[in-house]
Structure 1
Amino acid sequence: MTNKIYYLASCDTCRKIIKSLPKTASLEYHDIRQNPITEQELEVLHKLAGSYEALFSKKAQLYKSMDLKNKNLQESDYKKYLLEHYTFLSRPVFILEGKIYIGNSQKNITEVLKILS
C-alpha cells in the first residue's frame, strides 16, 4: 500500500503540515478539491478508520450552515456527505504503512513525522 496524504491545497493548516514533512518522505499527494475522493477510495479510508464518522469533520462550515449538528446522522449520512463535498473530510488524512491518521492534532502529526523520518 502506497503512503498517501489526502489534503486540501487551499487549507493553511494542510500547507503548514506538508511543509513540515521530511523532504525525503515518499508520499502520494491527493488534493481533494482538484480530485474528489471516489467511493472506492472512501471505502479504503472507512476500512482503516473503522467508521465514516471518524473521517467526518464537524468543524466544516457546511456542517454548521446545513445545521447538521441538530440532525441525528447515521453512518450512511456521513458517507453521503463525505462523497458529496470535500469539505466534510477531516484533514489531512495520512495513510502510512497501512495505518490511518486523521486530522491535524499534535499527536497525529508527531506520529506521522516519526514514521516519515
Structure 2
Amino acid sequence: MKKIYYLSTCSTCSRIIKELGISSDNFIMQDIKTESITPDQLDEMKEMAGDYESLFSRRSMKYKAWGLAEKSLGEEDYRKYILDEYTFLKRPVIIIEDQIFIGNSKKVVEAASKAL
C-alpha cells in the first residue's frame, strides 16, 4: 500500500508531493482536513511509527493556544489530540508498503524518495 496523509492547504505538503511525484494514480491520498483520520488509521500509523508522540506536531498553532506546552502529555493524550484536531498530526505522513515517513525534514523526505 502507498498512502499519504497531507493537508491540501499546506505549501510544504504540496512541495513534497510534487518533489516525490506523488499523485492519485500511484498513491491513496487523504487530505486530513476534508477526510478526518479515523482511530483505526491513527492506530495503524502508531504501530508502524512505534508511538503516538512521533506523529504529534508541536508546531501546530493550537499547541500553545490550548496550553499544551505547559502540560505533561502521555501517549493517550497524543492520540486524543490528533483525533480531535487534524493540525496536531505531523505532516505529511507517507506510508510505502511497510515503511512510514513522518514529517517534512529533509532527511525524512530523502528517505521516502529512496523508498519509492
Normalising by the smaller structure, the TM-score range is over 0.9
2:108 corresponds to 1:95: no
Shift of 1:14: 0.2
Q: Any stretches of 5+ residues in structure 2 without a counterpart?
A: none
How does 1:1-117 map onto structure 2 within 5 Å? 2-22=1-21, 26-116=26-116
Q: Say how many residue pairs are matched.
A: 115
> Per the alignment, in what secondary structure is the counterpart of residue 58 of structure 1?
coil
Deviation per CA, 1:60-82: give whole Å up to 9, x if none. 00001111011011111101001
Aligned-pair identity in percent equals: 45
Deviation per CA, 1:54-105: give whole Å up to 9, x if none. 1000000000111101101111110100100100000000011211110001
Q: CA, structure 1 residues 97+77, in 2 after alignment: closer, same or farther (shift >3 Å)?
A: same
> Per the alignment, in what secondary structure is the counterpart of residue 51 of structure 1?
coil
> Per the alignment, in what secondary structure is the counterpart of residue 9 of structure 2?
coil
Shift of 1:22: 2.6
> Per the alignment, in what secondary structure is the counterpart of residue 21 of structure 2?
coil
> Distance in 2 between the 1:48 and 1:115 partners?
15
Using the size of structure 2 for normalisation, the TM-score is 0.94
> Distance in 1 between the 2:49 and 2:108 partners?
14
> Per the alignment, in what secondary structure is the counterpart of residue 5 of structure 1?
strand
> Distance in 2 between the 1:23 and 1:58 partners?
26
Q: CA, structure 1 residues 23+65, in 2 after alignment: closer, same or farther (shift >3 Å)?
A: closer
> Per the alignment, in what secondary structure is the counterpart of residue 35 of structure 1?
coil
